[in-house]
Amino acid sequence: MCGIVGYIGTQQAAPLLLEGLGRLEHRGYDSAGMAVLGTGGALRVAKRSGRVRDLAEEVPARFGGKVGIGHTRWATHGPATDHNAHPHTDGAGRVAVVHNGILDNASSLRAMLTDDGVELTSDTDTEVLAHLVARSGAETLEGRVADALSAVEGTYGLAVVHADFPDRIVVARNGSPLIVGVGDKEMHVASDLAALVRYTTTVAYLDDGEMATVTAQGFTTYRHDTAQLHRTHRDAARVDVDPAAYEIGEHESFMHAEMLEQPRAAERVLRGRLDERFGTSHLGGLNLDARELRAIRRVKILGCGSAYYVGQMGASMIEELARIPADAEAASEFRYRDPVIEPDTLYVAVSQSGETIDTLLAVQEIRRKGGRVVGLVNVVGSAIARECDGGIYLHAGPEVAVASTKALTTMFLAFSLLALQLGRVRDLSIADGKRLIAGLQQLPEQIQSVLDRDDELAEVAKRLAVSDSLFFIGRVRGFPVAREGAQKFKEITYRHAEAYQTSELKHGPLALISEDVPTVALVPDDELVERNVAALHEIAARRGPLVVVTHEGVDLGDLSAAPGMHRIDVPRNEREIDPILLTIPLQVLAYHAAKHLGLDADKPRNLAKSVTVE
């Protein structure tokens, strides 16, 4: 969840490291730091708690050197303080290490080092790596890093510089992403493509268990097995990405820009994948033919956070259209219950970054037991994409804000395409297939019509922002929407927001309804509309303020005159597709509530974009 950058070449490293760290703040922003090897191999370190801009103010005017590594932190071991910020060094100031991940045996290693007389200066697990590298007797830096890694257990993406080896950076990966970027007589290292795109789009992704030596002339990769190094062959490849996509442009925040981009992102994920003639979808990346698709008897969807909630939406759609059992489960819990992996089940891993460690580990568990797993990911070449048997790329474009908007929308549409294809190889009629395709083709324009009501939604958001606690409610198709709405609100406004099935209110939560607890209710025009409206009357009778997200024409009776009532109509699509249109206004409400409270929607406290630690 932290960010790593590195540079070696002909330019001064410090400005490049600072710029790269600024682009990685979505991965961690508790503290930041960098280490530079200057003339003669002198190692200089600058680090401090706070944002990258605070670090920039701390860096001395003379901080020269053409080799360096940097880090922006999301705290795991130890609070966000100056001494816990990365890079971490050995006692002699010869080795500097930046590290993402968690070392599971850090406590025992710290105790061992302390018993040997080493004075540790931080609370982190990472500091032990610097001392282990320094204590190795290997002749090369690669050997010393391999020695250190042979002693640790856990996950890591790391970069190491050493004053005795000023011509190189050594990097390694196990469970936390690392990318090597190839330039002209210079090389870059990063944990995320965002830090590299201004300088190069020719990159190599390291696999788990792989190391690389990076010099100004190129890179060499290895696998390490009990400190032994074995050369591997890895070529760099050009990635198709527009550097401008990582710029905020004229927008006030990345989240705002990414919300507004949703109509275009929806067009991209659908482009070339709809077959109007046969009322189905084309998903060649699944690597499954019609016979194999028809043999699937169950679908299990795995994701975390918003990916889990959109997975619930997808599961509901697959059951409706394909008439096979489907459900979603939190990937973080999946492998710990020793799941039964069925040969006729299709497992679907969902992750924007493609690096979410809980989801990646679930994929590996499925593959270890012989299951078939496909991925819904946004980042080409990511770990989950490489581990899966096939998949659907989301084509959302880079998503920088921690709270997912356009990626979530494209995930929903990817599930729509999957459900359509599964349905059409079974009993879904061509007429229903064409009906759904027509609905999907309308979506970009309908999403835009919701976003065009920004001013109205901003006013509603101000009313919600002043409440310390809120409910989000929905039924069946609407319940995952309510869960996602509550997630958005809590993560960027820091207000307590809880999602419940509307039908469950009377079984407990109704006790909390009062004038101070608003309810955001999802009321689509479906077979449950009358029951949903009846539940809203129960809330209004207890003077609970209501924000009702519904369809034009839905009769809410005398609720329109209830105190604190506001109605938000969204465009009507096919019932199976309606959940995503109900989700869009909830994103906008959360964003404007955070803005009204003076909070940074892009960087909510205690959270980071890519969760690469368990």
> 29 vs 235, 402, 476, 600, CA distance in Å?
32, 12, 38, 12
pLDDT in tens, 446-486: 999 999 999 999 999 999 999 999 999 999 999 999 999 99
User: Looking at residue 86, what DSSP letter applies?
Assistant: S
609 belongs to the catalytic site: yes
Whether residue 331 has pLDDT greater than 90: yes
Q: What is the pTM of this model?
A: 0.88
**Cα separation of 402 and 601, whole Å?**
8
Pick the range with the lowest mean pLDDT from 73-87, 118-132, 357-371.
73-87
Greatest mean pLDDT range, 179-188, 375-384, 503-512: 179-188
AA letter at 285: G
Residue 206, pLDDT score:
93
* Contact status, residue 43 vs residue 70, Cβ threshold 8 Å: no
Average pLDDT over residues 196-216: 93
pLDDT computed for residue 90 by the predictor: 95
Q: Is the pLDDT of residue 564 over 90?
A: no
Long-range contacts of 378-381 (CB under 8 A, 24+ apart): 378/351, 378/352, 378/353, 378/354, 378/407, 378/410, 379/193, 379/352, 379/353, 379/354, 379/355, 380/239, 380/240, 381/203, 381/205, 381/237, 381/239, 381/354
pLDDT above 90: residue 40: no
Q: What is the mean pLDDT of the chain?
A: 93
| Average pLDDT, integer, range 167-173 | 96
Predicted local confidence at residue 227, as pLDDT = 58
Assign 606 a pLDDT band (cuts: 50, 70, 90). confident
> Does the pLDDT at position 98 exceed 80?
yes
Determine the pLDDT at residue 559.
84
State yes or no: is 369 an active-site residue.
no
**Confidence (pLDDT) at 1:** 63
- Residue 159 confidence (pLDDT) above 80: yes
Residue 323's alpha-carbon distances to 38, 292, 298, 343, 462, in angstroms, are 65, 16, 10, 19, 42
For residue 522, the cross-strand partners are 549
Please tell me the predicted confidence (pLDDT) of residue 239.
Answer: 84
Specify the pLDDT at position 199: 92
Residue with tokens 């999802």: 522
Alpha-carbon radius of gyration of the chain: 25
Q: Quick one: what percent of the chain has pLDDT higher than 70?
A: 99
Q: Tell me, what amino acid is at 366? A: I
Average pLDDT over residues 555-570: 87
Of 174-178, 272-276, 569-573, least confident by mean pLDDT is 174-178
Provide the pLDDT confidence category of residue 28 given band limits of 50, 70 and 90.
confident
Does residue 313 have a pLDDT over 70?
yes
Contact (Cβ atoms closer than 8 angstroms) between residue 327 and residue 315: yes
Q: How many helices (H) and strands (E) does the chain have?
A: 18, 27
Confidence of residue 226 (pLDDT cuts 50, 70, 90): low
Q: Is the pLDDT of residue 612 over 80?
A: no
pLDDT of amino acid 611: 74
In this model, does residue 30 exceed pLDDT 70? Answer: yes
Which is the catalytic residue, given 2, 66, 304, 603?
2
Catalytic residue, from 300, 488, 603, 609: name it: 609
How far apart CA 280 and CA 433 sit, in angstroms, is 6
pLDDT (mean) for 499-524: 92
Is 70 exceeded by the pLDDT of residue 543?
A: yes
Reported confidence tier of residue 436, pLDDT bands at 50, 70, 90:
very high
| Vertex 17: Cα angle to 13 and 23 (nearest 5) | 155
User: Does residue 300 contact residue 324 with C-beta atoms inside 8 Å?
Assistant: no
Q: Indicate the pLDDT class of residue 360, thresholds 50, 70 and 90.
A: very high
What pLDDT, on the 0 to 100 scale, is given for residue 403?
A: 94
